[in-house]
Copies of this chain bind each other. A is one copy, B any other.
Amino acid sequence: MQALVESARRRDSALVVGLDPVPTRLPPGLLEGREEHEAVLEFCRGILEAVSPYAAAVKVQLAYFERLGPEGMRAYAGLVREAGAAGLPVIADAKRGDIAETAAAYAEAHLRVYGAHCVTVNPYMGADAVLPFLEEARRLGRGGGVFVLVATSNPSAGAFQEASEPPASELAARLVAELGDMQNCGYPDAGAVVGVTRPEAGRRARRLLPRALFLAPGFGAQGGGVQGVRALLDGSGGGVLVSSSRAILYACGGRGDYRDAAAGAAREARDLLRAAGVRV
Whether, in the assembled complex, A275 has its beta carbon less than 8 Å from a beta carbon of chain B, the answer is no
Whether, in the assembled complex, A22 has its beta carbon less than 8 Å from a beta carbon of chain B, the answer is yes
Whether, in the assembled complex, A144 has its beta carbon less than 8 Å from a beta carbon of chain B, the answer is no
| Chain B contacts for A149, CB-based, 8 A | 97, 124-125
| Chain B contacts for A168, CB-based, 8 A | 124, 160, 164, 168, 171
Are the C-beta atoms of A66 and B164 separated by less than 8 Å?
no
Are the C-beta atoms of B63 and A109 separated by less than 8 Å?
yes
Are the C-beta atoms of B154 and A99 separated by less than 8 Å?
yes
Main secondary structure of the interface of A (DSSP, over half): helix
Once bound together, how far apart are the Cα atoms of A250 and B19, in whole Å?
A: 40
Are the C-beta atoms of A22 and B101 separated by less than 8 Å?
yes
Chain B residue nearest to A100 (CB atoms) is: B154
CB under 8 Å from chain B, chain A span 14-44: 20, 22
Are the C-beta atoms of A128 and B156 separated by less than 8 Å?
yes
CB under 8 Å from chain B, chain A span 153-206: 154-161, 163-168, 171-172, 175
Are the C-beta atoms of A159 and B114 separated by less than 8 Å?
no
| Chain B contacts for A22, CB-based, 8 A | 101, 105
Whether, in the assembled complex, A73 has its beta carbon less than 8 Å from a beta carbon of chain B, the answer is yes
Once bound together, how far apart are the Cα atoms of A77 and B69, in whole Å?
A: 8
Are the C-beta atoms of A97 and B99 separated by less than 8 Å?
no
Are the C-beta atoms of A164 and B156 separated by less than 8 Å?
no
Tell me the minimal C-beta distance from A169 to chain B in angstroms.
9
| Chain B contacts for A155, CB-based, 8 A | 128
Whether, in the assembled complex, A2 has its beta carbon less than 8 Å from a beta carbon of chain B, the answer is no
Of the candidates B114, B129, B156, B163, which one forms a contact with A69 in the assembled complex, judged by CB atoms under 8 Å apart?
Answer: B114
Of the candidates B67, B113, B124, which one forms a contact with A124 in the assembled complex, judged by CB atoms under 8 Å apart?
Answer: B124
Are the C-beta atoms of A164 and B166 separated by less than 8 Å?
yes
Instruction: Using CB atoms and an 8 Å cutoff, list the residues of chain A in contact with chain B.
Output: 20, 22, 61, 63-64, 66-71, 73-74, 77, 95-103, 105-106, 108-110, 113-114, 122-129, 149, 152, 154-161, 163-168, 171-172, 175
